[in-house]
Chains A and B, each alone.
Chain A
Amino acid sequence: MRGRPAARRLRLGFTDFRIEGAVAVVGLAIIWQIASYFFPPFLFPPLPAIATRFADIFAATGPIGDAAATFARILAGLAGAFLLGALLAFLMGRSERFYRYAFPLLNFDQGIPALSWVVISIIWFKGIEFRIFFIIVMTTLPAFSFQVLDAYRSMSKDLLEMTLSFRPRKLDLLRVLVLPTVVPGILTAWKVNLGNASRVAVVAELVGATGGIGYELLQQQQLFDMAGAIAWTLVLVCFVLVVQRLLTLLETWMLRYRPASERSL
């Protein structure tokens, strides 16, 4: 690091590891390709076969529609969980009594495996879309609620008193103080839940849908088509990475007021 500008050191500290990331991915690809020379294609298909299947997905409208359906389900489920979770967090933050009832339920929910929700939703609901929405909401709800509640409770008493000294209306208080305070917690919750929701959505589609990435993975399993399975998995991974990147950009912009130290921890 000697001789490098401090800002460059900081960026390389934690956030900017594009070179290392690329090296790791290329390394994994090389190992996979070598493995493909020693194992049959249904175990380790060669990289060109995976690339061809990946390109095929984007060459026809049917597969693109499947991918888009999964993306829409993930985002709709997350949005539903976020709205409900934020509402619960706000009510828990405002009322100790409500907190005492809601907290154990959310804690209980946190312990229920995603697969249990899949089974329950299949038994309870007829509509496929609602089933998947329900499963994503129930599995990501506790994390949204707890993250937003933590952020709400960490609100500075000093800033609250200062804002109250100007006698704001309730909605104004929410807008000028509460929302900016909970934004970092909300963004963290979205980033954490995105990966969870994508895994849960695929599992839900695997057992209960007639379209989507989970459904396509099931088709590849039945055909013993490992290249197709990897290609569909990569589509989902790409989606998660793109949304994570967008969330990071949004976070950087929304939290631009935070001071940056020239020395990383």
Chain B
Amino acid sequence: MSAASEIVFDHVGKIFERAGEPELEAIRDLSFSVKRGELVIILGKTGCGKSTTFNLLSGLLRPSSGSVRVQGHDPFAEFEWFRGKISIVFQNDRLMPWRTAIENVALGLELNKMPRTERLDLAESWLKRLGLDGHAKDYPHALSGGMRQRVSIARAFAVRPDILLCDEPFSALDEVTGNALRSELVELLRETQATSIFITHSIEEALRLGSRVLVFERPARIAYEASLDPSMNQATREGVRADILRVLAGELAA
């Protein structure tokens, strides 16, 4: 593990105890690290522990064994230390229905105690940036799925996080909207230099977005890892795609 690593998973295991049922091993001996500014893609089929990995990273769960460190701190034990440092873009938009678009974007800033005028100005600039000019006062129910996801992206970026976690943020959108938002997100990540982990089911999305891809098998551990250099030629890229497919198919057969 390099000293410049922003995120470090060190032999992490996670077991869920379930009343009246056998315990569930979601993660087994998982180790990986992510450098500052890197965009790492986690790929794997449903139920392979990707979201549990995410919840460990965001401090919502505590590992059963091993350790998780983000910027050298424990995200579960030092929960409040990470205020304003980590943001998540979820699979569904998770907007508060009682808040307008601008109030939803300003949520993280409000919790960071930014003064009201300042945070609303900033939230409005993020709405403009994501093409939602004129929708600041709209409640979520009045927005389309794509617009709502844009609001949730704006909410995540507005706090200027060091680390951004994306949990299949485009899977609920149609292809055209998903592609448009994907490009915007990549541009934002490049601009903000945030360290990012992106969960997806889509190999295409992984190859298009990431600087590195981790393929998970069940229970969550790394079955395959590849660096995705932008200068990589088509043949090498096709080779990575074939490898990922092979790993996923093998996992499927298992």
Contact = CB atoms under 8 A, between A and B. Distances in A.
Interface in B98-117: 98-100, 107-108, 110-112
Nearest to A181: B98
Given A165-B87, A166-B159, A259 B141 contact: yes
B98 A257 contact: yes
B32 interface: no
Contacts of B140: 257
Interface string A136-167: 00000000000000000000001101111111
B82 A176 contact: no
B58 A165 contact: yes
A100 to B, nearest CB: 16
Contacts of A167: 59, 79-80, 82-84, 86, 111
Contacts of B100: 257
Interface size range on B against A: 20 to 34
A165 B87 CA distance: 7
Interface string B105-133: 00110111000000000000000000000
B94 A158 contact: yes
Interface in A86-100: none
Contacts, number: 60
Nearest to B156: A165
A6 to B, nearest CB: 17
B142 interface: yes
A177 B94 CA distance: 12
B213 to A, nearest CB: 24
A255 B107 CA distance: 19
A258 interface: yes
B96 to A, nearest CB: 6
B90 interface: yes
B141 A257 contact: yes
A96 B88 CA distance: 30
B80 to A, nearest CB: 5
B60 interface: yes
A56 interface: no
B94 A162 contact: yes
A168 interface: yes
A262 interface: no
A180 interface: yes
B92 A172 contact: no
Given A166-B107, A172-B111, A176-B110, A258 B79 contact: no
Nearest to A254: B98
B224 interface: no
A207 to B, nearest CB: 44
A172 B114 CA distance: 13
Nearest to B152: A162
A202 B139 CA distance: 43
B20 interface: no
Contacts of A255: 98
Interface of B: 58-60, 79-80, 82-84, 86-88, 90, 92, 94, 96-100, 107-108, 110-112, 139-142, 159
Given A159-B94, A161-B90, A257-B97, 5 more contacts: A166-B84, A166-B108, A167-B86, A257-B139, A258-B97
